[in-house]
Amino acid sequence: MLAYIAKAKPKLKILNKQDLADPAVSQLWLDWYRSKPGTNAIALDAGERAPSQKLIAACRELAPNRGGLDKPLRVLICGIPNVGKSTLINSMTSRKIAKTGNMPGVTKNEQRILLADDFELFDTPGMLWPKIEVEEGGYNPAASGAVGRNAMDEEEVALELLKYLMLRYADLLVARYKLDDIDGLQDWQVLEMIGRKRGAMLGGGRVNIQKAAEIVLTEFRDGAIGRITLERPDEWKVWEKRAKELAAQRAAERAAQQKEKEARKQGSR
C-alpha cells in the first residue's frame, strides 16, 4: 500500500542508527538507494548535532517546487518498529514530542510536527509486512528489536543471527566473547560456547540456552559485538529466490498429498 501511495512521490531513505551499522555496508546501501529514480538517501545517528537541517535540506532538494506558506512541504516518515523514528524526531525538534522506548510499538498514533514554517512532518507508528515470505525478512528485524518478545522465539532468532555473524563477522564474534576457533562449528555450538563463557549455566553443567540467546540479542542491539549490518543490497535477491523455490516445493508436495488423498477416496468406493 505504501509503495503504491508513494509511487509518484520523491523518496528519502534514512539509514538511522548508522553508528551501530557496518560503515562499508552503509555506503553500499546509500549508493544503491541513490541509484533509484526520485530517491535520495542519508545516514543519521543519535550523535548528529543538527539532524533536522540535514533532513530538511535533503527533502527540499527532492521537492524543489514545494515551499512557502502557500505550498508547504509535507513529509511522511514511516518504517519498521524500533528503528529510532521517534528519537530522531525528538532530536530534530530539540524537545520530547514523540514517545520513545527500546522496544517496538511505543508510537501508537500519527502526529503532525512543524519543523519549519513551511515544513510539516507526519510521524507514524512502526509497520511490518502483513506476511513474511522471506525467512531473513523475519529473522533480521526480530534480531534488531523490531518484533516484540512475545511474538518470536529468542533462541531461534539468536541462532539465525549467529549463523550470519559467523559468515560475515566471525572476527567480531570471537573477539567479543573470547572464543576459540569457531571455524567449522554449528550455530548452536557457538551459542553454547557463549553461554559457558558468560556463566549462563543450569545444574549438571548444562548451558542455559535461553539466557545465552538473550545475551547475544541484547549485545547485538546495543552494538557491543561491533558495527554490524545484517543485509547487503545483493543478498535479498538470493534470499527471495530461495524462498520462492521452497514455496514452490511445498506447494508441489501439498498438491501431491491432495492427489494421493483423492485417489484413496476413489479406491475405497
- The domain tally of the chain equals 2
Contact 6, 72 (CB under 8 A): no
* Residue 201 sits in the same domain as residue 178: yes
Q: Is 60 exceeded by the pLDDT of residue 188?
A: yes
Count CB-CB contacts under 10 A for residue 168: 17
The alpha carbon of 147 is separated from its chain's Cα centroid by a whole number of angstroms, namely 9
Q: What is the CATH number of the domain that holds 154?
A: 1.10.1580.10
Interatomic CA distance for residues 72 and 60, integer angstroms:
10
Nearest to 149 by CA among 231, 219, 217, 85: 217
Of the three residues 180, 196, 221, the one that is the final residue of a domain is: 221
Quick one: average pLDDT of 195-215? 96
Confidence at 22, pLDDT banded by 50, 70, 90: very high
Q: Mean pLDDT check: name the lowest of 60-69, 85-94, 126-135, 260-269.
A: 85-94
Q: Mean pLDDT check: name the lowest of 96-110, 113-127, 225-239.
A: 96-110
CA-based R_g, the chain, Å: 23
Phi, psi dihedral angles at 162 (to 5 degrees): -60, -40
Quick one: average pLDDT of 105-123? 73
- pLDDT of amino acid 82: 82
> In the numeric block, which cell numbers belong to residue 267?
479406491
Interatomic CA distance for residues 199 and 218, integer angstroms:
16
Q: What is the CATH number of the domain that holds 63?
A: 3.40.50.300
- pLDDT of amino acid 211: 97
Cα→Cα distances 216→51, 193, 194, 198, 227, Å: 31, 12, 8, 10, 14
- pLDDT of amino acid 45: 82
* Residue 11 sits in the same domain as residue 110: yes
pTM for this model (two decimals): 0.83
pLDDT (tens digit per residue) in 70-112: 888 988 888 888 888 877 777 766 655 555 444 444 454 567 8
- pLDDT of amino acid 132: 87
Q: What range defines the domain where residue 143 resides? A: 136-221
* Residue 118 sits in the same domain as residue 141: no
Interatomic CA distance for residues 87 and 143, integer angstroms:
20
